[in-house]
Structure 1
Amino acid sequence: MQSFRTELENLDNPVVEKDIIDLAARIEKFNNGDIDPDKFRSLRLARGVYGQRQPGNQMVRIKIPYGKMSVKQLRRIADISTEYGGGNLHATTRQDIQIHYVSLDRTPELWAKLEQDDITLREACGNTVRNVTASPVAGIDPNEPFDVSPYAHAVFEYFLRNPVCQEMGRKFKISFSSSDKDTGISFIHDIGFIPKVKTEGGKEIRGFKVMIGGGLGAQPAPAVKAYDFLEEDQIIPFTEALLRVFDRYGERKRRVKARFKFLLADIGLEEVMRLVKEEWNALSTKSYKIDTSAVAGPVLPTTIGFSDKALINPEQFELWKETNVHPQKQEGYYYVEVKVPNGDISSQKAHKFADIISKYAADDVRVTVNQGYVLRYVKEDSLKSLFTELDDLNLANPGFDSTADIIACAGTDTCNLGISNSTRVALELEGVIEREYPELIKNNDIKIKISGCPNSCGHHAIASIGFHGSSLRNKATKKVLPAVQVLLGGGLDKDGDGFIAEKVIKVPSKKAPDVLRVLFNDYDENAEEGEYYATYFKRQGKDYFYQLLKFLADTENVTDSDYIDWGKDEQFKVETEVGECAGVIIDLFSTLMFEAEEKAQWAKQAHELGNYADSIYHAYSVFINGAKALLVDKGVTVNTQAGIMKSFDEEFEGDFESVVGSSFTDFVLRIKQNEPSKEWAEKFIEDADQFLGKVKEVQEQETETV
């Protein structure tokens, strides 16, 4: 594993180097049995290393902020997948790229090589701010008021390694749409930004409509509006304040309730915004000017490329051009959408794809939320040649983001949480559409999305027609069948309003193609002219569709093949393990004290570097972890940081009076009452050190008493 140090010599970022060295050291400790497995899991997840369904293998999630990659970065990722993984690049619904079948011991070296081309794994998984997503047509969208790419980039950079969001109760997701059409699907995000422009005194002012509290998972919820217009310099301070609120008051014990959407539902929008205002004083910056030049402009090919291959299928080219090619706001240029089944492209194909991009498009490829790619700044004269070369790679399939372009998560192929196969179902359903309903290749209203479990990594909860993996028991035989839960009526309408799909019925997985046939035929026969599918679903009602599909749920007439999942040969059985994507919760005294002491060191290091806001937040974490350690040691259940403070006052009243006074809660929450300064940071760190010393003293006394 030490070979990774050679790769570090090519880096010039000491923070990144330290991060990679730290991961390698923790892997060595884990292998030697010197570190708690749950603590180690939490650490590696925050560095993009996720346990696979196959024992001994890791999935490495590569963070691609707002989906933007250079050709050089694409090549680097392809090389990494060949050398360290299974030779495949899997695009996700968060505009990440995942590599599977990686050895844990090789992840530091892999990470070091990625960082040589400014690619990170940091906070791609775990209880962190996940990849910041954005509309893949940001900067070229004819409907956009301005390019949101620099804003997404600024948010990504500001919160990467930020102490406020390293160990939250759960993950936190942020998106940027390019226009009111909500192309970044803000309504399913913890924070969604939609660009707006207003004019005051003849001056144009940029800002954002802000949506908060959206989320999918097993209990999806749409976001609510926090601001009609928040000026551009306020989006980062607002995000930091909201993250502080989530970190302090969000659930930490019951994992299923630990997302921000549940906190919002619990205390309401008005109280959330009041708490945000309370946090404002402690922010390191009250106004953060976005550098709109931080994202480089397009680098175009020096010469217009042409293919020497003849256009064999003119009709297919015209269909592709109709469905996958669109004019940019920049006159004379087009963007081209590349449909990728299941988001999977081999390393070898990725290199050839990179050759094509270099020849015909800007050095700026965007991964999309529907697991494809967008090429930008293509000249009209190049379209036939581009199509011909993409077609050679089977990457010129028409119908990008249409009914025939089905999203599917990895499911039981690699994920611990997968219940039934999602990728193979997607391919089967695409086949039904291509063979029996080819006209739907031009339909951009009905979206089909599939997940292997209820957690909605495949976005089934916002699908017009959604499926998630499940199981059914045949009451007569007592045998279990692979099944899919059918959901209907989700998605976006023409005005950008979002809808959550409703669960309708559960059917055997092998009946999924028949579900499509019934639904398509019904819609064709009964929908009104121009009626959107979500509108049609609402008009007919959930029970109408339940009755329509009920016969397919009947398990009395199933055949032997129905007991075998798609792509498998053996009898189906449910095989799931505890998922890792949201991290874990550690409740061991020694582990919590280790974390508290570690945070105390980080607080001092940040103070020495002049990062006073960071040092203060690290010191705050010392108080929280130290208090939680004593409470856990005493058998007290604690759910939130606010709850920790309250319970600590109740359980240890008087024991800590010499250090914190009469109220531990008031003592700690001074963090909200003081602006970050050198003197205040120094004082808060000193107080945290004294508190930690007292925690050790009290715990020793408790142990002696026992």
Structure 2
Amino acid sequence: MATKERLVVIGNGMAGARFVEETVARGGSDLYDIVMFGEEPRGNYNRILLSSVLAGYHQPEDTIINGLSWYEEKGVKLYSGVKAGWIDRMGQAVYAAGGISEPYDKLVIATGSTPYIPPIDNMYDEDGFLRPGVFSFRTLEDCQAMIGHAGSASKAVVVGGGLLGLEAAKGLLERGLEVHVAHLGDYLMNSQLDAQAGAMLKQSLENLGLQIHLEKLTQPITPPFPGDPVGGLRFKDGEELECDMIVVAAGVRPNIDLAKQAGLHVQHGIVIQDDLSCRNDRNVYAIGECSQHRGKLFGLVAPLWEQARILAEQLTGENPEASFRGVRVSTKLKIMGVDLAVMGDKDPQMDDDEQVHYSEPARGVYKKLIVRNGRLAGAILLGDGLTSPNVLQAFDRGELLPDNRASLLFPGTGGVPQIDVSELAASAQICNCNGVTKGKLVQACQEGSDTLAAVCAATRAGTGCGACKPQIHAVLKFAMQQAMPEPAARESRRRSMNKIEVYKEEKNGLDVKADLPRYAVDGWETITDGDKERLKWLGVFFRRQTPGHFMMRLRIPNGISNSAQFRAIASISSDFGKDFTDITTRQQIQLRWFEIDQVQDIWDRLEPVGIVSIQTGMDNIRGIVGCPVAGLTPNELFDASPVVREYNEIFVGNREFTNLPRKFNVTITGCLDNCTHAVTQDIALTPAVKSIAGEEVKGFNVTVGGKQGSGGFRPASDLDVFVLPRDAAQLCSEITLLFSDNGLREARNKSRLAFLIEEWGVDRFRQELEQRVGHPLLTSGSPVGSEAKSDHIGIHPQKEAGLNYAGLVVPVGRITAGQMLEVARLADNYGNGEVRITAEQNLIIPNVPDSLVPALEEEPLLQEFRADPSPVMRGLVSCTGIDYCHFALVDTKGLALKTSRYLEEKVDSDLPALSINWSGCPNACGNHTVADVGLLGKKARVDGNVVDAVDVFLGGKVAEALGVVTDGESSVKTLENVPCDELPETLAKVLESLKAAPVALTV
């Protein structure tokens, strides 16, 4: 048997340990006796997770990649906690304290880097160690020491506004400290970002609670107070900043001391050749942060692991000619929840380089491309995690870009589809933090990991910053599809699926857009049954009652619109429709009566005013409901509308979210008035406060699984979760994808999230969600706000002194084109052009100055859309009804108006405001199950004749007055089969009873 060579590795960090893993995986243990020196007293761990440990999201043991037992199992001799002292290149041996010596045939130096500590006076104590209360942030010991000190500290300063400093700041902020960042540069992360991106990142992080000081040259630590290890910092400009904790994260320097001692060729790092050997010793190799290749240093994990793989291939003989030619450096990560992807050059380098910019400072979104010779030479993507996969793929492949450069920044538009993971090579890296490739993810799926949580647990993918989870999920779906059974078994499975699931398997709903030009030419009669359903993914609805004419539902997140949008919708309604539109209970607008060949024209007129119809029907996340006066009302904990926008942007056009088991309703509100029907939603985020580290923090409590149709009302379950606004949109996304992966799909009437909650129970659902997000979730906070329903009707003062909003009732939500134009005129003349839509199908004109309120009240439109409506008209809500919906059984809108006008005449107006909600079928689009008076349309046999009738549900004030026992959340069916002709008189008797003491119902 041939004698093994001896392979010695100095460094058990990210690069050295990865090299040994790669070598062992290629049979290296049969070729070499492998010896390692690891300065830290443990196995290998993931430094990228240190900020999560500092923040409390992970425990130290969660960072371990290979524990000590792994080395023993693999036959690797590890000197744990032993620092290599010197290298004898002539004798080919490594020496360490304690008489340790290890000869080598091949030596790999992977000593990484060391923290750069600026020359700041008073930084060290008299023994030469960092003063108590002053920390570097590099090792697990550093992290644990910081956690220990943070428990008694209140104010910390982080010196350094690069990636490492911001990660440290994030962890301390999560520990409840007041955190300041002092940065020498004139903008944050100046090594990776340009000035504009750095400025926008600063604003985003300040919004999250950091206090940032730029262009600060740190001078001495101010003399500590008696009994205090740290007093504060003084800057060159004379400013002082008191604190009781200092973290120095001013960058790192390659650890080259050992290489210098050994006489290796060293510049900024250990100079290596393409085969990773040192220039003046072909038996010594260097990889990782200590190495310098073609003049470049590497501080990201991707090139480090590329070096590890190449050297392992070379030394094991798998590919003796393997060489490292450098890499196109790119990374994607999250900084305090803010998505960031950077790659290549951050600024133009050549005279003919192109720049493509998109900037949206209010939302912290910044996108920049550097294009050279038609290919991507660099990019910065801030605040937009959805764009980065496409851009990263274009950069890594060096592929030619589309002529419409901007289309790359907006996946799914301009002919550029979102990234297709099936096109990625197995070697394509999905998780930068842990170096996990597509191939490893697929292998984990093949070995039985069939959920996102299981794949992440098996591979460690997604357990770092979490930015890669959408791609991991896409790879999981790809792998599951690859594992589909043979055709015969697949056909048998198809026969057991409901028809909508079959349609979705045949073709994604969004793909029907490509068929529209053909249908526009060939006519609506040629549209297949499957495509009639798929058109709903585009917001286009075939209506059986009106063959050849369609409805389009427009997405208006949080109900926030404006005069330009109203004018565009009005003109479309006049030109293509029936001169009216309907406002929905999800703060959206429905267009009617257009034909299939007019769809593209309608979209072309909506696009300039920022309206889309995509994913407003079928198995999608419907319109996100929010408080209609978010950001305006003085009675809110905070403005939650930015969270609505962020969540909306995550899923609209994103194919990850277009195959849910069933429709999905969400409300997100920070309003203290109960104005969004949270109890009936699949996800509801409602305002709450929680004490964290002694500070009262504002956020949301989370409930899940509410519904009305599909088997009746079920109130949402308390998930016992509190989430901060900055994390809320991502949490909603994870809940949605958890439902997508695990929701029941066999029967449509059992496919809502409520049924998965019933099957699993809330505790298991919460546990699965925690696995998915990768860290423990906070338990729920204290809810704030009123349980009484509110509608924001009337003229009310806004939080900004001197301004008001006018809430106007639009009877049953139907509004003509002329009325829409008038609303637009009033919004421009009396406000700032904004128009808000409520979940009760009403409108709000905000930002009306005090001086203009009297004139607004005299406008003719306010005689139709009253700000002072009668009690029975104020809360009137109605679904579409039989005229335009094939599910409806009665003319809800017509009956609702007729009945309410009768009640206005016959019932004393001295009534409390009431919600009277009409649904034309059990799907409950009119929210009849949660109203004071709920009316469910039906057909009933009366005296041998089939007539229009309703069942009457009572709740709230009416139920209380009449002695009807309810659960406090839903209405109770109290009367059945009431003919619609008799309903006005019947309801008049019911409402008159409100004035009396509670009595048994006798009507």
> After TM superposition, is the score higher than 0.5?
yes
Deviation at 1:279, TM superposition (A): 2.6
Q: Which of 600, 607, 622 is the equivalent residue of 1:130? A: 622
Q: Which of 433, 447, 461 is the equivalent residue of 2:929? A: 461
User: What is the aligned partner in structure 1 of residue 579 from structure 2?
Assistant: 87
1:395 paired with 2:880, answer: no
User: What is the aligned partner in structure 2 of residue 443 from structure 1?
Assistant: 912
Answer 1 or 2: which has greater strand percent. Answer: 2
Runs of 5+ consecutive residues of structure 1 not aligned to the other structure: 1-8, 288-321, 528-539, 550-706
Deviation at 1:208, TM superposition (A): 0.6
Q: Which of 990, 994, 1000 is the equivalent residue of 1:519? A: 990
1:15 paired with 2:507, answer: no
Deviation at 1:141, TM superposition (A): 2.0
Q: Which of 613, 634, 640 is the equivalent residue of 1:121? A: 613
Q: 1:473 is aligned with what amino acid?
A: R
1:489 paired with 2:955, answer: yes
Q: 1:489 is aligned with what amino acid?
A: G
1:413 paired with 2:902, answer: no
Question: Compared with structure 1, are the counterparts of its residues 332 and 394 closer, same or farther at alpha carbon in structure 2 (3 Å cutoff)?
Answer: same
Q: 1:327 is aligned with what amino acid?
A: P
Deviation string 1:50-80 (CA, Å, 9 cap, x unpaired) is 1222111111001111100121111111111
Q: Is the 8 A contact 2:647 2:733 kept in 1?
A: no
2-structure distance, mates of 1:274, 1:41: 38
* Further displaced range: 323-332 or 12-21: 12-21
Equivalent positions of 1:182-201 (< 5 A) are: 182-198=674-690, 200=692
Q: Which has the higher contact order (CA 8 A, sep 6+)?
A: 1
Q: Which of 846, 854, 860 is the equivalent residue of 1:384? A: 854
User: What is the aligned partner in structure 2 of residue 349 from structure 1?
Assistant: 819
Question: Compared with structure 1, are the counterparts of its residues 92 and 458 closer, same or farther at alpha carbon in structure 2 (3 Å cutoff)?
Answer: same
Question: Compared with structure 1, are the counterparts of its residues 35 and 480 closer, same or farther at alpha carbon in structure 2 (3 Å cutoff)?
Answer: closer
Q: Which of 246, 250, 272 is the equivalent residue of 2:739? A: 246
Deviation at 1:39, TM superposition (A): 2.8
1-structure distance, mates of 2:751, 2:657: 14
Q: Is the 8 A contact 2:955 2:968 kept in 1?
A: no
Question: Compared with structure 1, are the counterparts of its residues 426 and 169 closer, same or farther at alpha carbon in structure 2 (3 Å cutoff)?
Answer: same
Question: Compared with structure 1, are the counterparts of its residues 177 and 246 closer, same or farther at alpha carbon in structure 2 (3 Å cutoff)?
Answer: same
Question: Compared with structure 1, are the counterparts of its residues 199 and 264 closer, same or farther at alpha carbon in structure 2 (3 Å cutoff)?
Answer: closer
Aligned residues, how many?
Answer: 481
Equivalent positions of 1:559-578 (< 5 A) are: none
1:333 paired with 2:803, answer: yes
Question: Compared with structure 1, are the counterparts of its residues 525 and 491 closer, same or farther at alpha carbon in structure 2 (3 Å cutoff)?
Answer: closer
Deviation at 1:276, TM superposition (A): 1.6
Q: Is the 8 A contact 2:931 2:955 kept in 1?
A: yes
Q: Which of 510, 529, 533 is the equivalent residue of 1:42? A: 533
Deviation at 1:268, TM superposition (A): 1.0
Question: Compared with structure 1, are the counterparts of its residues 26 and 449 closer, same or farther at alpha carbon in structure 2 (3 Å cutoff)?
Answer: same
* Further displaced range: 126-135 or 198-207: 198-207
Deviation at 1:493, TM superposition (A): 12
Equivalent positions of 1:27-426 (< 5 A) are: 27-29=516-518, 31=522, 37-52=528-543, 53-198=545-690, 200=692, 205-217=697-709, 218-281=711-774, 324-391=794-861, 394-396=864-866, 398-399=868-869, 404-426=874-896
1:251 partner SS: coil
Q: 1:368 is aligned with what amino acid?
A: T
Q: Is the 8 A contact 1:341 1:405 kept in 2?
A: no
Q: 1:25 is aligned with what amino acid?
A: A
Equivalent positions of 1:423-438 (< 5 A) are: 423-438=893-908
Identity level (%): 26
Q: Is the 8 A contact 1:141 1:178 kept in 2?
A: no
1-structure distance, mates of 2:938, 2:667: 29
Q: Is the 8 A contact 2:903 2:984 kept in 1?
A: no
Deviation at 1:196, TM superposition (A): 2.8
1-structure distance, mates of 2:683, 2:871: 24
Deviation at 1:392, TM superposition (A): 6.6
Answer 1 or 2: which has greater helix percent. Answer: 1
Equivalent positions of 1:631-650 (< 5 A) are: none
Q: 1:482 is aligned with what amino acid?
A: D
Runs of 5+ consecutive residues of structure 2 not aligned to the other structure: 1-403, 418-508, 779-791, 961-966
2:745 partner SS: coil
Q: Is the 8 A contact 1:264 1:272 kept in 2?
A: yes
2-structure distance, mates of 1:44, 1:77: 20
Deviation at 1:255, TM superposition (A): 0.9
Deviation at 1:362, TM superposition (A): 2.6
2:767 partner SS: helix
Q: Is the 8 A contact 2:622 2:664 kept in 1?
A: yes
Deviation string 1:145-182 (CA, Å, 9 cap, x unpaired) is 11111111111111112233201111111102233433
Return the index of the structure with the highest Cα Rg. Answer: 2
* Further displaced range: 31-40 or 251-260: 31-40
Question: Compared with structure 1, are the counterparts of its residues 347 and 325 closer, same or farther at alpha carbon in structure 2 (3 Å cutoff)?
Answer: same
Question: Compared with structure 1, are the counterparts of its residues 162 and 188 closer, same or farther at alpha carbon in structure 2 (3 Å cutoff)?
Answer: same
Deviation at 1:503, TM superposition (A): 1.4
Q: Is the 8 A contact 1:426 1:450 kept in 2?
A: yes
Q: 2:912 is aligned with what amino acid?
A: N
1-structure distance, mates of 2:762, 2:956: 24
Q: 1:187 is aligned with what amino acid?
A: V
Q: Is the 8 A contact 1:49 1:59 kept in 2?
A: yes
Deviation string 1:434-463 (CA, Å, 9 cap, x unpaired) is 2122525x623x311101112111111111
User: What is the aligned partner in structure 1 of residue 171 from structure 2?
Assistant: none
Deviation at 1:33, TM superposition (A): 10
2-structure distance, mates of 1:376, 1:523: 34
2-structure distance, mates of 1:154, 1:498: 33
Q: 1:245 is aligned with what amino acid?
A: L
Deviation string 1:549-593 (CA, Å, 9 cap, x unpaired) is 3xxxxxxxxxxxxxxxxxxxxxxxxxxxxxxxxxxxxxxxxxxxx
Deviation at 1:510, TM superposition (A): 1.1
2:684 partner SS: strand
2:864 partner SS: coil
Question: Compared with structure 1, are the counterparts of its residues 260 and 401 closer, same or farther at alpha carbon in structure 2 (3 Å cutoff)?
Answer: farther
